[in-house]
Structure 1
Amino acid sequence: MTIPKSILERLKQNETIARKFHEIEISILSILNFHDFIEKLLFEISSKFSVPYTWISIIEESSISQPLHAIQNSKLLRTSTAFLSKKKFSDITQNQLKPILSNKNINKFNALIPDAAKYEIGSIAIAPITMDGEIVGSINQADKNIHRFEPGIDTSSLEQLALKASLCLSNVTAHEKLKFLAFHDPLTQLLNRNVMERILDREFQRSKRYHIDLALLFLDLDDFKSINDTYGHDNGDIALCYTANCLNSLKRETDIVARFAGDEFVVILPSSNQRQAETYINRVKQKLAKNPVPTDGQKFYMNLAHYRADFFSLAHIPLSLDYNQGSLKQA
């Protein structure tokens, strides 16, 4: 019995597609960080299948949103990663797990497209990706050709791609979480004490070598024990996270904020003198005084109780100052 030529060609095409998917899977399987994983995945899809536009969309409320926001320094990721709310994603995809194809009313998919991207889309394919059974976003492909992703074509290959990407993404996420916990405080997400000490040593040596000012702040909270006793330990944890966010939001890009222990924090201010350190402290105090800790049904404010600042001058003679209720005193 002679097999029709059309069937043979189809089998050959399927074999080629399967081989390309296998090559993509092999290329991303050993990658264990978000940055390289996404860059490699998008590059491989685009190059092996000659897709003009390939990008991912991430749901803001998903567990991978925050770490992906942190790597937007990559030009490729800025133009190939979009973030949108769970509601917008749901409105577009109707929570479908199967790939969506469209070549009409493309504007309705705008929320899925990165702001920095300049795509001319005639047809689009959206393949949802999941983690632990929950949709976290999608891998998207598009072409100027309106027939490339025309509704009705077989989407089994797109489903396979989304499945493989989801499995690899789970591995990357697990590894990134372990790596994050090795360097960060699990509650406040600030750098932990061990990392802070290494950074401080590096900054001190740099300050000493290049004769650059360096300020080091030790901070603790006002009567934090009474907050735990009065409002409960859960609200106490919220208060610590709130304070950590305050310290982080007011620092410069080059400054370092770390949790030292309990309600104690350390801030490293490279290239900063006494006046600049005082300005930072005053801004922190003002923000804490004006904004209550965001808890359910409770309202209280955080205050800095006692803090010490060490300044390393150009002559590198450490000057320690104690701050009590906003006044400076020689230590």
Structure 2
Amino acid sequence: MQDSQLEAENLHLRRQLEALLREARANEEKMRRFDELEHRLIGARSVLELLRLLLSDYGHAFGIESVTLALVDADGETGRILDSELRDGAVLNDLVLLPSAAPLEALYGTARKPWLGRFEAPSHARFFNAPPRPPRSVALLPLSRHGELIGSLHFGSCDAERYDPAAGTNLLERLASIVAVCLESVLNQERVKLAGLTDLLTGVHNRRYLEHRCGVEIAQARRYKHALACLFLDIDKFKQINDAHGHPAGDAVLRAVGHSIQSQLRAGDTIARYGGEEFVVLLPQTAAQHAREIAERIRARIAAMPCTADSGQPLEVTISIGLAMLGAVPAGQEPALVAAELMAAADRALYRAKAGGRNRVEFEAA
């Protein structure tokens, strides 16, 4: 009897030991995957690469059904950086850009610690972008730098017990710290790049960026047989505005016109200040009729735009637009040469718009 009892106890102990060993091996494997991902996060060279690591690779590596991210983007800068990196109108469905940190402050309060527990729709739904099936348990990680909330990383699981409020959060806190530092680093890198490709007065892209982007869009149009429209835009009688009201008034007009043009464009379109009072717009995957409608909409919006000099005197601002469509591209022709011909055709159309009375749109095939 005693032997059988000892045997049962030994069996029980062996099973406990085996369970502990399995758990230790699982934890060791989890740490290996975590360390591997940590190194990849630190090595990310762009915002887009970092976001894809977080939103896709992390979920796959740890079997998480839903991974989403919210970033504070008060001045729209992160959105502009992503627009410059994303191609063909692509979007990141699991990323939410917030105009302020207020929703995150309401979510975390003053604790600024990871929150684990059951999914609560009133508080959490906006951060999970309406998935087909809401998660049953969630882990919410605040991302902060220098005492300020810059974002929030969210994990959602179909297992109601996966994110237990009683579980330790040391690993999640470490992950949140790494992600916050990496985000700040890549955003600073992108700001430096963007500064070299942005017109400082108007905030739109500069000629250097346009030359690069034009080559990319022509290559895409050639490869996928897409239409590509080019608009050349010039502010009418701009010298008279400068002469009569001074350069500060002229600068204000340039900023207003650049903003107005940009407001009429889609995420995948390109606007750049070409020089002086001239702007160029590229409209990929846009047929001639649609491009003309966009050009007319821009022209009408600027003509109706309220503008005043420092003296309070109203300024009449209009714009002339030349439109050209990318024609058939001979095989082997350099994209830079094709780009020059496309913009030259748009410039000829602009000249006709000026000669025809200004504040109008003219078209010429490239």
State the TM-score, normalizing by the size of structure 2: 0.67
The count of residues paired between Structure 1 and Structure 2 equals 315
Matched AA of 2:203: Q
Match status 1:108 vs 2:141: no
Counterpart of 1:99 (choices 106, 114, 133) is 114
Residue 194 of structure 1 corresponds to 208
Match status 1:49 vs 2:66: no
Deviations 1:62-112 (A, max 9, x none): 65344346649546x21x223344322322222542111221634321121
Could you say which structure has the higher strand fraction? 1
Deviations 1:201-224 (A, max 9, x none): 7889989xx9x9965524135344
- d(CA) in 2 for partners of 1:113 and 1:213? 36
Residue 123 of structure 1 corresponds to 137
Match status 1:145 vs 2:176: no
> Aligned in 2, Cα 1:96/1:241: closer, same or farther, shift over 3 Å?
farther
Residue 352 of structure 2 corresponds to 321
> Aligned in 2, Cα 1:158/1:294: closer, same or farther, shift over 3 Å?
farther
Contact 2:309–2:315 under 8 Å retained in 1: no
State the TM-score, normalizing by the size of structure 1: 0.73
Deviations 1:246-284 (A, max 9, x none): 2233357776431023433234568877x8877555433
Matched AA of 2:359: G
Contact 1:129–1:165 under 8 Å retained in 2: yes
Task: Report the CA distance between 1:303 and its aligned residue.
Answer: 0.8
Match status 1:90 vs 2:105: yes
Deviations 1:39-59 (A, max 9, x none): 112334223332222111223
> Tell me, what secondary structure is at the counterpart of 2:159?
coil
Task: Report the CA distance between 1:160 and its aligned residue.
Answer: 0.3
Contact 2:68–2:155 under 8 Å retained in 1: yes
Residue 225 of structure 1 corresponds to 242
Contact 1:288–1:301 under 8 Å retained in 2: no
- d(CA) in 2 for partners of 1:159 and 1:276? 50
> Aligned in 2, Cα 1:114/1:238: closer, same or farther, shift over 3 Å?
farther
Residue 197 of structure 2 corresponds to 183
- d(CA) in 2 for partners of 1:166 and 1:114? 21
Contact 2:83–2:267 under 8 Å retained in 1: no
Larger radius of gyration: 2
- d(CA) in 2 for partners of 1:20 and 1:238? 53
> Aligned in 2, Cα 1:304/1:92: closer, same or farther, shift over 3 Å?
same
Counterpart of 2:52 (choices 16, 39, 42) is 39
Matched AA of 2:174: Q
Contact 2:299–2:359 under 8 Å retained in 1: no
Match status 1:27 vs 2:40: yes
Stretches of structure 1 that go unaligned for 5 or more consecutive residues are none
Could you say which structure has the higher helix fraction? 2
> Aligned in 2, Cα 1:256/1:39: closer, same or farther, shift over 3 Å?
closer
